[in-house]
Structure 1
Amino acid sequence: MSRIPDFPKPTLISVNGIELEVFEAGQQNIGNPIVLCHGWPEHAFSWRHQIPALATAGYHVIVPNQRGYGNSSCPTEVTSYDIEHLTGDLVALLDHYGYQDAAFIGHDWGAMVVWGIALLHPNRIKQIINLALPYQARTEKPWIEFMEEFLGNDYYIVHFNRQPGIADAVLDANTTQFLRNIFRKNMPPAPPEPGMIVIDLARAEAPVGEPLMGDNELAVFISAFEKTGFMSSINWYRNLDRNWQILADVKPIIQKPTLMIYGDRDLISKSANLKEFVPNVDVVSLDCGHWIQQEEPEETNQVILKWLEQ
């Protein structure tokens, strides 16, 4: 990974049969842990603006590259990326530090994992702060079938599952261009185009909107994905139906104190029934797109710290 000044140096920690690359700050605040979970196609580095603020506020900040990312293990089996493995890694990380529970913050897929911890390991999570991805209630049909019916077979998550390997190869061949094109902000509103959005982004020569970050920051993501390729992280999506099976008998209501942060211009829809499933939720919307904590770092930090103080 390209070294960035002031970003913590990583440690490789063995947990749950794999190794996680973990970045830490605020070690002087032992006993007050907060775990930050990145999304796709991201990296622990996506929390660079939150780490110092949380450490200063008195937290022991623990930021893993989750399995399939960065210098963490990238198992070859698709099923190694189901919700049991992903949540199991983070529970094992708490065990490693000797913590019974922690506050968790998740963005995008990281939010999905945090919701998963609350469902599968509720005694290990103290508070939930999730960005961008609201709680996804279990549908009557398996998720991929449900998405295929409503969103079509070109919808990127359906495509990842029905045509495995195709998107992965396109992204691997266009890593820099894809990451440059996806990490944008202030996108002009436009109707959805036909085609497979992720493949189209990887092939687009001219990005829209404004860059989310400087070239030296983008280089961290590029070097990480040049090392791992994209298959291991896309395999998270290839477990959605397996996760649907795993969660079949799990009580779907999450009682933990929760903060849900939306970007008003995100393509991910806000939940209409979040309170039904997460009764103790507070909701905040910021004027930004999908990359909330990187687009509006100061505002995101203020919202998070104010909520945690309550």
Structure 2
Amino acid sequence: MHEPADFPRPTSVPLDGVNLEVYEAGQQNVGNPIVLCHGWPEHAFSWRYQLSVLADAGYHVIVLNQRGYGNSSRPPEVTAYDIEHLAGDIVGLLDHYGYDTATVVGHDWGAMVAWWLSLLHPARVDRVIALSVPYQERGDQPWIEWMEAVFGDDFYFVHFNRQPGVADAVFDENTERFLRNLFRTNEPPPQPQPGMALIDLATREAPVGDPLMSEAELAVTVESFQSTGFTSSINWYRNLDRNWHLLADLDPIVHQPALMIYGDRDPVAHGPNLTRFVPDVEVVNLDCGHWIQQEKPEAVNRVILDWLDRNPAG
């Protein structure tokens, strides 16, 4: 079990219509910004083992609770969580700090933000680092429609979209149990089509595997979601097909240097066409599950710093 690392106090950064809760380390205006984007259902605290290490390496580290999370704004409209808004928040942060470009790092949903930000605002991203979730090929069919056809209507992505509010209420009523059951390591191999298994975690009595976090660490995320509820974060999923349309006319190729870190035991599938869409990518596999930067913090830090040194910005 890793001991909690020191984590800075947040500041609230006002942007166009929203405020973002931001944690920083390192010296501002050194020309070396790196933005860390968390996934679902997480918190900026998930980057606790990377923040100080990257700052010590000379980076200005900007870790945000993205909209819908923590003390960042939670707009009521579902469409406020589409990729134009999520990517716009990162651009707004760069403008706030006076940076033209930054290295953007994302895990899980944060990786999707990083990939799509590099397409929507290519001049603002100099390098991309993604953990767990590879670049998503757009394909000929909107993503939720495709998932429904392939995995069925009980697959959680589809369920979130087709039955709005149902999963939200289950998670809200069982927040501590859901997150305790979700944030595990050394679990048995997942079923290829998990269906409702994710939602069922909210009512499972006995956790499977080993805890990812100490009680103090877990409490950070539990208390955050007990305060915010889950609807705003699940609204990200409810924009997947909207994002499919928003990305239609963009160059689909990620031209920036990229690092893709997979967990060998992560149920998220590896990207079979990754190099087709991300030609300048280096792929690293680690012996861990989905929560990569928390399960293997030393290895992740070593891989990231080595890759950054070999792929200087600009």
- TM-score by length of structure 1 reads 0.97
Partner letter of residue 265 of structure 1? R
Partner letter of residue 218 of structure 1? L
Greater than 4 Å deviation, 4+ residue runs: 192-195
Offset, 1:36: 0.1
Matched, 1:230 2:230: yes
Offset, 1:132: 0.2
Aligned to 2:241: 241
Q: Distance in 1 between matches of 2:58 and 2:251?
A: 33
Change (3 A) 1:143 1:287: same
User: SS of the counterpart of 2:202?
Assistant: helix
User: SS of the counterpart of 2:46?
Assistant: helix
Offset, 1:68: 0.1
Contact 1:168 1:231 in 2 (8 A): yes
Aligned to 2:170: 170
Aligned to 1:55: 55
Kindly report which structure 2 residues correspond to 1:62-73, keeping only aligned pairs within 5 A, or say none: 62-73=62-73
Contact 1:39 1:109 in 2 (8 A): yes
Aligned to 2:301: 301
Aligned to 1:182: 182
Larger deviation: 180-189 or 4-13? Answer: 4-13
Aligned to 1:9: 9
Offset, 1:7: 0.5
Aligned to 1:221: 221
Contact 2:5 2:49 in 1 (8 A): no
- Identity score, percent: 66
Kindly report which structure 2 residues correspond to 1:55-204, keeping only aligned pairs within 5 A, or say none: 55-191=55-191, 195-204=195-204
For structure 1, the residue ranges without an aligned partner over 5 or more in a row are none
Contact 1:15 1:92 in 2 (8 A): yes
Larger deviation: 26-35 or 144-153? Answer: 26-35
Offset, 1:188: 1.9
Q: Distance in 1 between matches of 2:120 and 2:112?
A: 12
Contact 1:160 1:237 in 2 (8 A): yes
Aligned to 1:46: 46
Contact 1:130 1:259 in 2 (8 A): yes
Aligned to 2:278: 278
Contact 1:29 1:59 in 2 (8 A): no
Partner letter of residue 121 of structure 1? H
Q: Distance in 1 between matches of 2:27 and 2:79?
A: 34
Contact 2:107 2:132 in 1 (8 A): yes
User: SS of the counterpart of 1:20?
Assistant: strand
Offset, 1:6: 1.9
Contact 1:39 1:106 in 2 (8 A): yes
Offset, 1:199: 1.5
- TM-score by length of structure 2 reads 0.96
For structure 2, the residue ranges without an aligned partner over 5 or more in a row are none
Change (3 A) 1:309 1:29: farther
Q: Distance in 2 between matches of 1:79 and 1:178?
A: 26
Change (3 A) 1:58 1:191: same
Aligned to 2:209: 209
Q: Distance in 2 between matches of 1:96 and 1:29?
A: 11
Q: Distance in 2 between matches of 1:28 and 1:67?
A: 23
User: SS of the counterpart of 2:105?
Assistant: strand
Partner letter of residue 90 of structure 1? I
Offset, 1:202: 0.6
User: SS of the counterpart of 1:275?
Assistant: helix
Kindly report which structure 2 residues correspond to 1:19-38, keeping only aligned pairs within 5 A, or say none: 19-27=19-27, 30-38=30-38
Q: Distance in 1 between matches of 2:192 and 2:203?
A: 17
Q: Distance in 2 between matches of 1:81 and 1:189?
A: 32
Contact 1:139 1:146 in 2 (8 A): no
Aligned to 2:261: 261
Root-mean-square deviation over aligned CA pairs: 1.2
Deviations 1:144-191 (Å, cap 9, x if unpaired)? Answer: 110000011010000000000000000000000000000001112253
Offset, 1:31: 1.7
User: SS of the counterpart of 1:48?
Assistant: helix
Offset, 1:193: 7.3
User: SS of the counterpart of 2:49?
Assistant: coil
Partner letter of residue 167 of structure 2? A
Contact 1:167 1:198 in 2 (8 A): no
Change (3 A) 1:58 1:217: same
Offset, 1:116: 1.1
Offset, 1:16: 2.5
User: SS of the counterpart of 2:130?
Assistant: strand
